[in-house]
Amino acid sequence: MKTRTGGFPIGFRRLGAGWQDDLDGLIAWMKGNALEVIDLRATSEDVAPVLEAGLHIGSVDLLDNKGLIASDREACAESIARNTAFIRACTTQGPINFFAVLLPTDPTLSRGENFGYMVASLTELAPVLEESGSHLVIEGYPGPGALCCTPEEFRELFEQVPSPAIGINYDPSHLLRQGIDPLRFLDEFGERVHHIHGKDTEIIAEGVYEYGWERPAAFAPRIGFGANAWRYTLPGQGVMRWGAAFAKLETLGYRGCVSIELEDSNFNGTEEAEKAGIVLGAQFLSGC
């Protein structure tokens, strides 16, 4: 399957579900459902089998992203060395996108201080990625102390680390939950996008009124893969305008893939439901 706009290959992100552990079985299931892309965990051993099966690799998880952001520069140097060896092991057959969420070792430090540690580490890692034409694709997951979740932070990162090897994993679900316009984000940063996560966000109007954005509910149970004012969903079941995003990316010359990241309380939990969710999400995107 490919997107109707742009012809971007569609697949999914390999998560921790047990049924996804058998790579050979997973590849066979993908081919039986016209899925062309898989995002891999942090192991170099799975790269060759996927490529030999004629499939695309959307991204490979960076081996150690948390260790890159720490006040202990000796520990950071060790993390950079581990990641350097991992990047080189994964790219023997060509360039790869390396996925990371920039979470600091100590989220209690100020974001400004941790940002400086991150810049220093990525400045050292960028030439290693450039060797093979690879990219670090940063997902803006707004977790505790996380960096590069907003336009302000991405803008500053690209100012301080201008290497073209430092890029973005475009996941509009995280932008939407923060109230950030995902289409305007592409207008500013689209040329830095090298991979896409197919994940949407439903905004729950009653929850916005009842609980607001800033505080968790005091008494109501939290929604799985969400809060009380929003929840992550399959593509097409939230508010994202996928066709408009693909059109912008096509104009910018995007040549990457789209991977369903299945985080939806209506589908996660069983093998049958998770497989159905991935296929349904992919089918929706194929019409966008």
Summarised one tens digit per residue, pLDDT across range 47-64 is 999 999 999 999 999 999
Residue 169 within any structural domain of the chain: yes
Residue 73 within any structural domain of the chain: yes
Range of the domain at 101: 10-198+237-261
CATH at residue 74: 3.20.20.150
Check pLDDT > 90 for residue 105.
yes
pLDDT at 17 (0 to 100): 82
Task: Report the b/e string of 211-238 with b at 16+ CB within 10 A.
Answer: beeeeeeeeeeebebbbbbbbbbbbbbb
Residue 70 within any structural domain of the chain: yes
Check pLDDT > 90 for residue 222.
no
Secondary structure E strands in 37-189: 37-40, 56-61, 97-100, 135-139, 166-170
Number of domains composing the chain: 1
HSE, side-chain direction, 13 A CA sphere, residue 25: 6
Type and span of the H or E element at 218? none
Check pLDDT > 90 for residue 66.
no
Average pLDDT of the residues of the chain = 96
Task: Report the b/e string of 141-173 with b at 16+ CB within 10 A.
Answer: bbeebbbbbbbebbebbbeebebebbbbbbbbb
pLDDT at 144 (0 to 100): 86
Cα radius of gyration rounded to whole Å, the chain: 18
Task: Output phi, psi for 213, to 5 deg.
Answer: -90, -30
Residue 171 within any structural domain of the chain: yes
Residue 20 within any structural domain of the chain: yes
pTM: 0.96
pLDDT at 143 (0 to 100): 87
Residue 1 within any structural domain of the chain: no
> How far is it, in rounded angstroms, from Cα 282 to Cα 92?
30
pLDDT digits (tens, 9 = 90+) for 247-272: 999 999 999 999 999 999 999 999 99
Per-residue pLDDT band at 213 (split at 50, 70, 90):
confident
Per-residue pLDDT band at 134 (split at 50, 70, 90):
very high
Residue 140 within any structural domain of the chain: yes
Task: Output phi, psi for 107, to 5 deg.
Answer: -70, -5
pLDDT digits (tens, 9 = 90+) for 156-176: 999 999 999 999 999 999 999
Residue 179 within any structural domain of the chain: yes
Per-residue pLDDT band at 113 (split at 50, 70, 90):
very high
What is the pLDDT averaged over residues 22-27? 95
Query: Are the C-beta atoms of residues 134 and 165 closer than 8 Å to each other?
Result: yes
Percent of the chain residues past pLDDT 90, beyond the cut: 95
> How far is it, in rounded angstroms, from Cα 147 to Cα 7?
31
> How far is it, in rounded angstroms, from Cα 207 to Cα 215?
11
> How far is it, in rounded angstroms, from Cα 152 to Cα 47?
34
CA quadruple 101, 102, 105, 109: dihedral positive or negative? Answer: negative
